[in-house]
Chains A and B, each alone.
Chain A
Amino acid sequence: MSGDAQDEDDMHANDDQHGDVQHGDALQADADGLGAERVLDCDGHQIPGSGCEPLAGTGLLAHLDGELSAIASARVAEHLAACPTCAHEAALLGVAGDLVAALPRHTPGADFVGRVTDCVGNPDPDCDADDAAPRGRLLRLWPAAAAAAVLVVAIAARSMLDRGDTAGGVLTASEEREIASDLYVLTNLETLETVGADELIALVEQLDLLEGLEPEMSGLYAAADDGEGG
């Protein structure tokens, strides 16, 4: 698992480890056997300035998830029994976890095991779940077209990235049409006339070009996602 999006995760990870709410640290300390008194810091809503900060640390989650020792867990439970604010937070976090656990599942049909065992050692392309366009065909047939096609994709990607940067990461419809028209000129070159987007992608993947482009493109998608999710 790698990717630029994880850098952001890592930054937050540091935040969490050092700046988690006081209860979380207190409970974590307790989980580590450092004593019960800090756990009780928020008992009676006595944390200065903040009332009883909701518990959001890994100690509380570990308690909810059954990942604490019996002794540490009992201490958290004791605190929760005495602190309505934390108990409310714990209930919400518990429901959140339960709902994820209860998401629908998919069980393959009765023929699935047979399908897999039939495919073992079978070179039949139907047994390859990779949904990329057939690999190799275009390179064998049209090496010149292939090289040109890769160039087209690289230009298109670069173009999208540049425009994405200036537009705050989100392409407008008119920008997309502009890129599309640029692409259309390039793809209308005689040798490329029959090359569709799927085949271009397959070529890029084949030549490992995607690896070079993807981090920047992922950034673009992430920016777009953030904009939509906000």
Chain B
Amino acid sequence: MPDVDPETELMLRFRGGDDAAFTEIVHRFQGRVASLAYRYLGSAADAEDLAQEVFLRVHRARETYEPTAKFSTWVHRITVNASLNLIRRRRVRRHLNAAMPTRGDDGEAHADFEDESAPRPPDVLEEAELADVVGTIVDALPERQRTAILLNKYQALSYEDTASAMELSLPAVKSLLTRARVNIKEALLPYLDAGKLPGGKSKGQS
């Protein structure tokens, strides 16, 4: 096989009839797929369910897979799209549920989409609190900025692979990443400037 990365080669082996290659794909990608889904869905159980769906889609694509892009970027694309689709369905459902009266509970059908209150900086953040703050900031980004920064920094994809996974041009992805990074930095300023990050990760001392 000319010039394909090892993970793409795995998928090609699977396409060629090697079932063990599929198991190896699941084994190698489960953490990446479930973690990315977890960032979108916020629940470990949901993330695993979605990861399972992603791998079943990979399996169904066995006959038709063509290595036009890296296999790993394709898997990331499936994961992002499946996560966003699920979120959209839930949003609509949540809205309709809020608009539907709870039977036997007159007038108490309230929307629940105001739960995420803006984080307020405490004096010093514990690691877990910091992760919550950063996670909330990332969640609040416009959808494509969030996806771009998650693929690039959280999943450690290169700019080029991020662009491929998002089916965008390289300049478009660079632009998204710039805005995402600046937005995150701005949102973190209350924490960064007050030196509230644990582990000595306060603002750059230059």
Please give, as numbers and ranges, the residues of chain A lying within 8 Å of B203 by CB-CB distance: 88, 91-92, 95
**Beyond A6-B143, A56-B182, is A180–B99 a contact (Cβ under 8 Å)?**
yes
A205 to B89, CA, bound (A): 9
Q: Does A142 contact B (CB under 8 A)?
A: no
Residues of B contacting A71 with CB < 8 Å?
none
- Report B193 CB to chain A, min CB distance, Å: 9
Interface pair B114/A153, CB less than 8 Å apart: no
Within 8 Å CB of B89, what residues of A?
Answer: 131-132, 201, 205, 210
Say yes or no: A129 contacts B35, CB within 8 Å.
no
Q: How large is the interface on B (under 10, 10 to 19, 20 to 34, 35 or more residues)?
A: 35 or more
Asked if B75 is at the interface (CB within 8 A of a chain A CB), the reply is no
Contact residues, A89-124 vs B (CB, 8 A): 90-109, 112-113, 115-117, 119-121
| Tally of contact residues, A, Cβ under 8 A | 86
Give the tally of cross-chain contacts (CB within 8 A): 230
Mask of B25-43 contacts with A, CB within 8 angstroms, 1/0: 0110011001101110000
Q: Chain A's nearest CB lies how many Å from the CB of B14?
A: 11
In chain B between 89 and 126, which residues have their CB closer than 8 angstroms to a CB of chain A?
A: 89-93, 95-101, 107, 109-111, 113-114, 116, 118
**Given known contacts A99-B130, A116-B26, A119-B56, A228 and B116 CB-to-CB distance under 8 angstroms:** yes
Interface string of A150-180 (1 = CB under 8 A from B): 0001001000100000000001010011011
Asked whether A103 and B134 contact (CB < 8 A) given A92-B203, A201-B92, the answer is yes
Give Cα A228–Cα B139 distance, bound, in whole angstroms: 13
- Contacts A102-B131, A113-B26 aside, 17 further interface pairs with beta carbons under 8 A come to A1-B81, A9-B144, A58-B175, A91-B203, A91-B206, A93-B182, A95-B201, A100-B149, A104-B131, A120-B59, A121-B59, A131-B89, A196-B100, A197-B100, A201-B89, A217-B91, A229-B118
Can you spell out 22 A-B residue pairs with CB atoms less than 8 angstroms apart?
A5-B142, A16-B175, A56-B182, A61-B174, A62-B159, A67-B158, A67-B159, A88-B204, A93-B182, A98-B201, A105-B38, A107-B34, A107-B35, A112-B26, A116-B52, A131-B49, A176-B111, A183-B100, A183-B101, A201-B96, A204-B92, A210-B92
Which residues of A are interface residues toward B (Cβ below 8 A)?
1, 3, 5-6, 8-9, 12-13, 16-17, 20, 24, 56-58, 61-62, 65, 67, 84, 87-88, 90-109, 112-113, 115-117, 119-121, 127-132, 153, 156, 160, 171, 173, 176-177, 179-181, 183-184, 187, 196-198, 200-201, 204-205, 210, 213-214, 217-218, 221, 224-225, 228-229
